[in-house]
A and B are shown apart, each in its own frame.
Chain A
């Protein structure tokens, strides 16, 4: 599943860039994400993703790896996790771009999400909707945090 999103943030590029690398702040914007840890500064992080669809609950201990980085411009990352209770795995490929436009920063990202295992039985449609919701909430959260205190 592929998702694309572009967020318009009324804040300078540097602020947005620094925000992304502030693990605690960043993680706080991802719904269902908790216990974020820096394993290797700038390179590897861990977090737990908890998501619920009705009675179905998954908890993915996730490892996030930064693959490529272009300061103030671009990040390429990969996240993967497994929930053995539900026999499911999750893989996310993330491509994040920052662009300055007038006085704003355009933060855009492309995410490819793969859910493998039993959870996929819920149906591609339900999972896609959930992922859309999570990304929407994330975008709103990021925007609010960055614009809120300027």
Chain B
């Protein structure tokens, strides 16, 4: 059972932001509630007010705009599974969304909510870092874009200010001759290790052009691993493939893996290496 709270149902982002500003920590934005309500049921958090953001229109669309895919923060995982824009332009994200939690969570859980709750064992954050996404945060009078790799500060903590609302996610349309893959491993309900690789091919398809690698779920927050990228960027595909084990252990160490019920630190670091290798090969094969 939940403790009593007051429901607010604003109809604009400005109103949401104002409510957050006015009520501070005693109020929380509520969308799908798939994470929030669990924490509330456990008694780990308490709020006097929940701000139902679902009455604000225009936050649940997927659009192609100026060479970028714009995803509204209120898009449910299920909507993203079905989105023609995503299926056409970013099928790797569709595959990720198809495999979030279970069908009931996907039905009501939103991408924005997933990102803002910043549960360590989650998929989308890792993926968005690898594809160079930016997150759009709005307040009463201002708007800013935050690079995905700066969004996650720590477990359950984002860089959003107290009265900021995540309204959308922007992903550049992938270049031709590029590939992106997200692989995860888990045997509990939530994923234990996740690795995302996005790359382009250069020089007549013989060498790795740009590459981004991100690891998540193993540690407190997803991280981009530039050190591992450097071992593969600009290298011939053969040399890059040979560097994969080293890149894997670098990425494993960067993951800040925590020993818990999902596995020991060493185990998770090892799995990062395995997934990096496979994700790299998958991304390469798409180019």
Direct contact of A and B (CB under 8 A): yes
Asked, given contacts A53-B155, A54-B118, A54-B157, whether A126 binds B220 with beta carbons under 8 Å apart, the answer is yes
Residues of B within 8 A of A118 (CB): 42-44
Which residues in chain B, 132-156, are within 8 Å of chain A measured between CB atoms?
154-156
Contact with A along B246-281 (1 / 0, CB 8 A): 000000000000111100000000000000000000
Asked, given contacts A124-B261, A126-B120, A126-B220, whether A54 binds B155 with beta carbons under 8 Å apart, the answer is yes
* Nearest chain A CB to B199 CB, angstrom units: 31
| Residues of A participating in the B interface, judged by any CB pair closer than 8 Å | 53-57, 85-87, 118-119, 121-126, 128-129
Q: Tell me whether chain B's interface is mostly helix, strand or loop, or mixed.
A: loop
B159 interfacial by beta-carbon distance below 8 Å: no
Residues of A within 8 A of B258 (CB): 123, 125-126, 128-129
B82 interfacial by beta-carbon distance below 8 Å: no
> Which 7 pairs show the lowest CB-CB distances between chains A and B?
A54-B156, A125-B258, A125-B260, A54-B157, A124-B260, A126-B155, A56-B44
Q: Is the CB of B39 within 8 A of A87?
A: no
B45 interfacial by beta-carbon distance below 8 Å: yes
| Residues of B participating in the A interface, judged by any CB pair closer than 8 Å | 28, 39, 42-46, 118, 120, 154-157, 220, 258-261
A to B contact number (C-beta, < 8 Å): 51
Complex Cα distance, B39 from A125, in Å, reads 17
Residues of B within 8 A of A126 (CB): 120, 155-156, 220, 258
Q: Is the CB of B260 within 8 A of A123?
A: yes
Question: Which of B118, B120, B157, B220 has the most CB atoms of chain A within a 10 A radius of its CB?
Answer: B220
Q: Is the CB of B39 within 8 A of A86?
A: no
Complex Cα distance, B260 from A125, in Å, reads 5
Residues of B within 8 A of A85 (CB): 43, 46
* Nearest chain B CB to A81 CB, angstrom units: 17
